[in-house]
Amino acid sequence: MERESPARSTSADTTWSALMAAAQNGDRAAYERLLGDCIPHVKRVVRRTGVRPESVDDVVQDVLITVHRARATYDPARSFANWLSAIAQRRAIDHLRHRGRQDRREVWDELSYESYPDARATPDAVLDGEDRGRDMRVAVAALSPGQREAIELLAIRQRSLGEAAAETGKTKGALKVNLHRALKTLRARFDGAE
């Protein structure tokens, strides 16, 4: 890992401090240059803190957002590099803490998903699902032609109202009314069946 020489870091720090002071006074170009110039420094700090390589860019973005939100708190008489490093370290630690909590809660075992059956998928449950599917097909077939058409286009085929209206030549309002009535009819039928 390459370390900056003290002279170079002092020079960069002086430049960054001047850019941040200008940015605090409203110089947008100075602010953009500052953020662009300090990204490699932020990446080094984040990597040294132990953030995984695939997460470094996310943490860098979080650091830049924090710098933007806290830019008014920076004192130009102090070291910008130290201020930035403190923010980067804290954001990296926050990321590691969050990641640690997430890793404790989540388990990824691809073979488990492939080798263990769903406990709810018993033969009776499969037959019940098939019966419900058959019952639904029969109930949809018993609807009026307009309601059946609205259910088929809007609910089953997932067409938008505009697409369904263009396909059928009906207005969007008519399709909405037919869909509403069809759903009301189906709900009444299945609520009474249980």
Mean predicted lDDT score pLDDT of the chain:
85
Question: Does pLDDT of 74 surpass 80?
Answer: yes
Percent of the chain with pLDDT over 70: 81
Query: If you average pLDDT over residues 105-115, what whole number do you get?
Result: 65
Domain regions of the chain by residue span: 6-105, 123-188
Question: Does pLDDT of 97 surpass 70?
Answer: yes
Query: If you average pLDDT over residues 59-70, what whole number do you get?
Result: 94
Which of the following CATH numbers is that of domain 123-188: 1.10.10.10, 1.10.10.60, 3.40.630.30, 1.10.1060.10?
1.10.10.10
The pLDDT of residue 108 is 65
Question: Does pLDDT of 35 surpass 50?
Answer: yes
Question: Does pLDDT of 1 surpass 60?
Answer: no
Query: If you average pLDDT over residues 141-165, what whole number do you get?
Result: 91
Question: Does pLDDT of 146 surpass 50?
Answer: yes
Query: If you average pLDDT over residues 103-120, what whole number do you get?
Result: 65
Which of the following CATH numbers is that of domain 6-105: 3.90.1150.10, 1.10.1740.10, 3.40.50.1860, 3.20.20.140?
1.10.1740.10
- Judged by average pLDDT, the poorest of 58-62, 95-99, 101-105, 173-177 is 101-105
The pLDDT of residue 8 is 43
Question: Does pLDDT of 5 surpass 60?
Answer: no
Query: If you average pLDDT over residues 113-132, what whole number do you get?
Result: 68
Residue of 172 and 116 predicted with greater confidence? 172
Secondary structure (DSSP) of the chain = -----HHHHHHHHHHHHHHHHHHHTT-HHHHHHHHHHHHHHHHHHHHHHT--GGGHHHHHHHHHHHHHHHGGG--TTS-HHHHHHHHHHHHHHHHHHHHHHHHHH----HHHHHHS--TT--HHHHHHHHHHHHHHHHHHHTS-HHHHHHIIIIIIS---HHHHHHHH---HHHHHHHHHHHHHHHHHHHHHH-
pTM: 0.50
Residue of 23 and 131 predicted with greater confidence? 23
